Amino acid sequence: MQRRPVISALACGLVTTIFDAQAQSATKIHRVGFLTHASSEQSARYFGAFNEGLRSFGYVENRNVVVMPRFGDGTLERLPELAADLVRSRPDVIVTGSQPLAIAAQRATATIPVVMVGVADPVGIGLIANLARPGRNVTGLSIDAGPEMGGKSVELLRELAPGLSRVGVLRHVIYPVENNAALEAAAKTMNIAIEVVEVRDASEIEAGFARLKLLRVGAAIILGTFFWVHRRQVAELAIRDRLPAFHALKDFSDAGLLVSYGANLEHLYGRAASYVDRILRGAKPGELAVEQPTKFDLVINLRTAKALGLKIPPSLLARADEVIQ
């Protein structure tokens, strides 16, 4: 019986096992925070896009990364509490979307890197110093190509509703007032008046539409991601009140709003993984340029147009990236 080769094989296997165990124990497990005001179910598509992005850079859940989500279940008022709780868990980086979320994360920490996703005009609201060198602990992806994007919504509504002279803006009080500046400036050049109506929570959405009706606006712009959780209600109220309405996100036109024009938010969440990867490899967020989207999708809901009694100009239909029949 040849015992020496058997013993050698066993010894070799033992060494390999020990080496693998040491290598596994030496692998750093990165901690990534994920902050959203929506519920886990509502956020699944965007959360999934981000996780898929992480996998493309070699990050595997519980092997070399742990993603720690905090869900607000549709309540913006909980953001400071959720952000503070996330900071206490000491993540290596925090990923968060939209203006109030990014602002809450930045107020909660000046040291932990924050990757924002889909924030409008981050320079104008003071979140970063400039796009090329953000300067502090926040970087990531904006949702627009500059303040001039604010006028695009008014232009589209004017094409959809010829003779438009008054547009209502429905927004949540938590959003910075700077959001309105570019939009109001663009509307002024078109001789269109802007009427702003603010809501504090979901219970005031219907009252907000009632206020728009009293102001006799001819169309509405739904501003900010707060309404994303309530987009079906918003679309139904706009149709009920016969208001051509706009939002930047395609999810709103899918839900029944007349028109949307903006970047693909799912794609932006996937792209956010590249920022996380660079930060985890040692890059400083203040030195990572903020990325602006280069593609914007125009989506028109033709069913809603028919319900509103609107005839969409053929030239506008030809420009649309998607027409919902």
The CA distances from residue 44 to 38, 39, 41, 163, 234, in Å, are 10, 8, 5, 41, 21
Q: Terminus-to-terminus CA distance in the chain, angstroms?
A: 79
Q: Tens of pLDDT along the chain (325 residues)? A: 444 444 444 444 444 444 444 444 457 899 999 999 899 999 999 999 999 999 999 999 999 999 999 999 888 888 999 999 999 999 999 999 888 999 999 999 999 999 999 998 899 888 999 999 999 999 999 988 666 677 889 999 999 998 999 999 999 988 766 567 778 888 998 999 999 999 999 999 999 999 999 999 999 999 988 899 999 999 999 999 999 999 999 999 999 999 999 999 999 999 999 999 999 999 999 999 999 999 999 999 999 999 999 999 999 999 999 999 9
Pairing of strands 297-301, 259-262: antiparallel
Cβ atoms 57, 93 nearer than 8 A: no
Q: H-helix or E-strand containing 246?
A: strand 245-247
At 28, which amino acid appears? K
**Any residues with CB less than 8 A from the CB of 201 and at least 6 apart, and which?**
75, 77
Give the per-residue pLDDT at 176: 67
pTM of the model: 0.86
- Orientation angle between helical segments 205-214 and 231-240, nearest 10 degrees: 30
Map out the domains of the chain with their CATH numbers: 28-144+264-287 (3.40.50.2300), 147-262+297-324 (3.40.50.2300)
Reduced DSSP (H G I as helix, E B as strand, rest coil) percent helix, strand, coil of the chain, to 5: 45, 20, 35
Write the DSSP symbol of residue 291. B
| Environment class of 75 (CB within 10 Å of its CB; exposed 0-12, middle 13-18, buried 19+) | middle
- State the Cα–Cα distance between residues 41 and 43, nearest whole angstrom: 5
- Residue written as token pair 């932990």: 112
Give the per-residue pLDDT at 15: 44
b/e burial code for range 153-191 (CB count within 10 A of at least 16 → b) = bbebbbebbeebeebbbbbbebbbeebbebbbebbeeee
Cβ atoms 8, 2 nearer than 8 A: no
CA 273 to chain centroid, in Å, comes to: 14
Tokens coding 235: 């679309």
- The radius of gyration of the chain from alpha carbons, rounded to an integer in Å, stands at 24
Give the per-residue pLDDT at 177: 65
Give the per-residue pLDDT at 179: 63
CA proximity to 150, closest of 184, 123, 190:
184
Give the per-residue pLDDT at 186: 85
**Any residues with CB less than 8 A from the CB of 3 and at least 6 apart, and which?**
none
- State the Cα–Cα distance between residues 79 and 51, nearest whole angstrom: 22
